[in-house]
Amino acid sequence: MCIWNLTNCHRVDIVITILPQREQDAGSQCVISMNANSTSICDPKNPGHVKTFTFDLAYWSHSGFLKDEDGRLVSTGSNSRYAGQREIFRDLGQGVLDSAWQGYNATLLAYGQTGSGKSYSMIGCGANRGIIPIVCEELFKAIHNQEQNKQYQVTFSMLEIYNEQVIDLLSKTKKRGGLKVREDHQQGFYVDGLKQVPCDSYAQIERLMEQGTKIRTTASTSMNVTSSRSHMVITIQFKQIFLDEEITKQSVINLVDLAGSERQKSSGSEGDRLREGTHVNLSLAMLGNVISALAEMAVGKKVLHIPYRDSVLTKLLQSALGGNSKTIMIAAISPADMCYEETLSTLRYAERYSFVVFHCFSLSLPPEELQYLLVENERHIQTIRVTWESQLEEARKEWEQQYAAITQERRMMETFPYLLNINEDPQLSGVLKHFIQDGASDVGQSASNAIVLKGLGIMDKQATFTNTDGKVTITPWDKSMVIVNGVPVTVKTKLQHLDRIILGSNTAYLYIGPPAERTNKDLLRYDYDFFQSELAAADGFSIDKLGAVSSKDGKPDPSVLAVFHDYIKLMPLVAEANQMSEELNKDLKFELKVKNLASSDSRGYDLQKEIIVKVMHKITKQVWVWSKAKFINRKFLMEELYQHFLDGEDMHVEQDNDPFWDPVEVIHLGSAHIWLQSLAYCMKLEEQTELLNFEGQEEAVVLINVVPCSSDGRAFEEDDVVIDPLELLGRQIDFQIHIVQCLGVRWLRDVSDRGIQIGYRIYDLPRPVYTKPVWKNVNPKIEERTHFSALTVSHDFLNYLQKNALIVDLWGLQGISLQCIFFICGCFLWLQDAPNQMSKLYTKLLKLEQETELLRDINRALREENIFLKEQLKKWDTGHHERTHQLCHYRTSYDSDFAKALKVFYQNMNVLRGQFLKLKHSKPPVEDNLQMLRLFTERQSCMLKDFGEQLESSICKLKNDVALIVKKKRESIAYSKH
Q: Alpha-carbon distance 234 to 103, whole Å?
A: 18
Q: How far is CA 597 from CA 540, 564, 606, 815, 920, in A?
A: 14, 12, 9, 28, 12
Q: Alpha-carbon distance 703 to 743, whole Å?
A: 8
Could you tell me whether strands 774-775 and 755-760 are parallel, antiparallel, or unpaired per DSSP bridges?
A: antiparallel
Residue pair 321/339 in contact (Cβ under 8 Å)? The answer is no
Binding-site annotation: residue ranges? 112-119
If phi > 0 it is left, if psi is from -120 to 50 it is alpha, else beta; for residue 455 that is left
Contacts 24+ apart (CB under 8 A), 416-419: 416/467, 416/514, 417/467, 417/470, 417/472, 417/495, 417/511, 417/512, 417/513, 417/514, 418/512, 419/451, 419/501, 419/509, 419/510, 419/511, 419/512
Q: Which residues contact 376 (CB under 8 A, 6 or more apart)?
A: none
Q: Alpha-carbon distance 891 to 716, whole Å?
A: 21
Residue pair 773/748 in contact (Cβ under 8 Å)? The answer is no
Measure the CA angle with vertex 682, ends 679 and 683; round to 5°: 80
- Angle formed by the axes of helices 628-646 and 202-223, nearest 10°: 100
Q: What values do phi and psi take at 742, rounded to 5?
A: -115, 135
From the list 872, 916, 894, the residue with the least C-alpha distance to 964 is: 894
Q: How many CB atoms lie within 10 A of CB 301?
A: 9
Q: Alpha-carbon distance 19 to 788, whole Å?
A: 54
H-helix or E-strand containing 41?
strand 38-43
Residue pair 315/189 in contact (Cβ under 8 Å)? The answer is yes
Q: Alpha-carbon distance 768 to 762, whole Å?
A: 8
If phi > 0 it is left, if psi is from -120 to 50 it is alpha, else beta; for residue 641 that is alpha
Please name every residue paired with 828 in a beta bridge, in sequence order, or none if there are none: 790, 825
Q: Alpha-carbon distance 525 to 519, whole Å?
A: 14
Q: Alpha-carbon distance 476 to 488, whole Å?
A: 10
Q: Which residues contact 451 (CB under 8 A, 6 or more apart)?
A: 419, 434, 436, 441, 442, 443, 444, 465
Binding-site annotation: residue ranges for ATP? 112-119
Question: What sign does the CA torsion over 94, 298, 355, 116 have?
Answer: positive
- Angle formed by the axes of helices 558-583 and 628-646, nearest 10°: 30
Q: Alpha-carbon distance 78 to 475, whole Å?
A: 57
Q: Alpha-carbon distance 409 to 9, whole Å?
A: 45
Report the SS3 class of residue 162.
strand
Q: DSSP string of 855-903?
A: HHHHHHHHHHHHHHHHHHHTT--HHHHHHHHHHHHHHHHHHHHHHHHHH
H-helix or E-strand containing 698?
strand 698-709
Q: Alpha-carbon distance 687 to 631, whole Å?
A: 38
- Angle formed by the axes of helices 131-144 and 94-101, nearest 10°: 40
From the list 115, 33, 111, 117, the residue with the least C-alpha distance to 348 is: 111
Q: Which residues contact 839 (CB under 8 A, 6 or more apart)?
A: 822, 824
